[in-house]
Amino acid sequence: MVKAFRRVIAAITVAVLAFRAVGSFLSWIEHQEDSAADTWIDEDEFEDV
């Protein structure tokens, strides 16, 4: 019984950590979209055009 209880607690913990990781990643992506996009543009790309 104790072993099953520990497994349930471990599964809940993993699910919560995964949810937080996905939320943090999506927040990071949203922050990247808000930042200036021309920071990483290579100047050679403009010369080719």
Structural domain spans, the chain: 1-32
**Regions of the chain short of the pLDDT cut 70:** 34-49
At residue 1, the 3 state secondary structure works out as coil
pLDDT at 42: 64
Residue 49 and residue 35: Cα distance in Å, rounded? Answer: 25
Contacts of 43 (CB under 8 A, 6+ apart): none
pLDDT at 45: 60
Q: Helices in 1-49 by DSSP H: which ranges?
A: 2-34, 43-48
pLDDT at 30: 86
pLDDT at 32: 81
pLDDT at 31: 84
pLDDT at 25: 95
